[in-house]
Structure 1
Amino acid sequence: MRKQLVLAMAAGLGLASLGAQAYEQGDIVFRAGIATVAPSGDSDAIELPTDPPTILPGGVDVDNGTAISLIATWMMSDNWGLELLAATPFKHDIDLADLPVAAGSTKHLPPTVSIQWYPRGGMDGWQPYLGLGVNYTTFFSEDVDSELGAVLGDLLDVTSAKLSLDDSVGLAAQAGVDIPLTDEWALNLGVWYIDLGTTADIDVVTGGGANATVSFDVDIDPWVYNIGVAYKF
């Protein structure tokens, strides 16, 4: 994905002279495209309540997720914008890092509000920007995979298991560029880094009816890569 963004940016810069798109105070820029969330963090070890305890030191790995991005920016001045990043739900598969076992899956929405700086605001041509903001990520549709269920059943005599992930609030930094194609349309390339961490709880019920919770922290800290189009109103 990173290589594709670099190649697309290089090609787009060559097209920049084909159009002009000055951003000015009061403009609204709407962007839509394809975004990929690529986790870069790690997970705490998982301690299963066996006797003696079973430790999985690598925790879990969270796979990439891709969805449709929906982004709106209001230009507060020629050089400063207020952006809202939204998207359709991202889905991620979760695997145990120490074993070839699928652990589960989750969906999330990552609305992010950022203040952006446009160094070429008010000028025709390509429009690079930098941003800093706050991300709120909410998780839902968490599921425990049958493979993990089988492992828990063997180790703990588990009859049912439920996964839940805490919502996250963290800082987000971004960089991007709009490369004009016409007076209104542009090619958009963007990247975010989001400080995103959560606590995972696996609530289990054993064959004897006892309840137990396995908790561990997961630092997802994703890079988000977006390619799409922008339209200036």
Structure 2
Amino acid sequence: MRKLITPISSAVALALAAGVATPAMAQDSDTRIQVKIMATAVLPDGEIDTINADNLGVPAGTQTEANNNVVPTVAIEYFFSPNISLETICCVTQHDVDVSTGPLAGAEAVSDARVIPATFTLKYHFNPGGVSPYIGAGPTYYMWFSEEPGAGLAALGATDLDMSDELGVALQAGIDVPVGDSMLVSLDAKKYWVGTTAEWYDSTGALLLSTDHNVDPWVLSAGVGLRF
């Protein structure tokens, strides 16, 4: 993850420098709505934080990790003023979770879990109208659906899986670069802190395993936007 943080930090630093050096262009005060179409890499953690119940005899030290995914996203932003805006994103991303350590390493624990990361961030734009770095923060609510026991847990008798919806927070940084009068190119990075409780059940409804997981993804996006 440090390899990801370094280029992001460098890009934001360059953006800040560019924003200071570039005069702000005239901005229409009636222009309130901005819509971005982005390609987004979702890079979750997925590690086990706590084992709440274990009727399977999971070996001590067992750990898990979630796979990455790239999805299209839409970001819709409302500007209260040239500097201050509220943004929400729309996307669905799918992840599997595999055992990463111990004798069960490689076993699939979660299959095809899909999540809607309902997120709102209040943002501050440093150079509105020009090359504009920004920062933001806000709440997120992760809503999981379609999750299934992975092949590894299914082989141990799991037939059903439930992952809890949870509230978390997100921090954000990025840059908007104007192209013409109303179009822009955007780079965006978000860090989320959010978890989930996963519970596996057998065919009788008996609880086999309950674990708390740190989802905590980095979400990195690049795309284009239009201002209305």
Match of 2:73 among 69, 78, 94: 69
Q: Percent identity?
A: 27
Partner AA of 2:75 in structure 1: I
Structure 2 CA distance, aligned partners of 1:96 and 1:215?
15
- Residue equivalent to 1:43: 48
The aligned length equals 215
Classify the secondary structure of the residue corresponding to 1:183: coil
Partner AA of 1:137 in structure 2: Y
5 Å matches for 1:1-233?
2=4, 22=27, 24=29, 26-40=31-45, 42-44=47-49, 46=51, 48-50=54-56, 53-87=57-91, 89-98=92-101, 99-105=105-111, 106-121=113-128, 124-150=129-155, 152=156, 158=157, 160-205=158-203, 211-233=206-228
| TM-score, length basis structure 1 | 0.80
| Aligned residues of 1:39 and 1:222 also touching (Cα < 8 A) | yes
Decide whether aligned partners of structure 1 residues 35 and 175 sit closer, same or farther in structure 2, where only a CA change above 3 A counts.
same
Structure 1 CA distance, aligned partners of 2:45 and 2:58?
26
Decide whether aligned partners of structure 1 residues 179 and 59 sit closer, same or farther in structure 2, where only a CA change above 3 A counts.
same
Classify the secondary structure of the residue corresponding to 1:221: coil
Question: Which structure 2 segments of 5+ residues have no match?
Answer: none
The alpha carbon displacement at 1:36 in A equals 1.3
The alpha carbon displacement at 1:70 in A equals 0.7
Classify the secondary structure of the residue corresponding to 1:43: strand
RMSD: 2.9
Classify the secondary structure of the residue corresponding to 2:146: strand
| Aligned residues of 2:107 and 2:151 also touching (Cα < 8 A) | no
Decide whether aligned partners of structure 1 residues 211 and 40 sit closer, same or farther in structure 2, where only a CA change above 3 A counts.
closer
Partner AA of 2:96 in structure 1: D
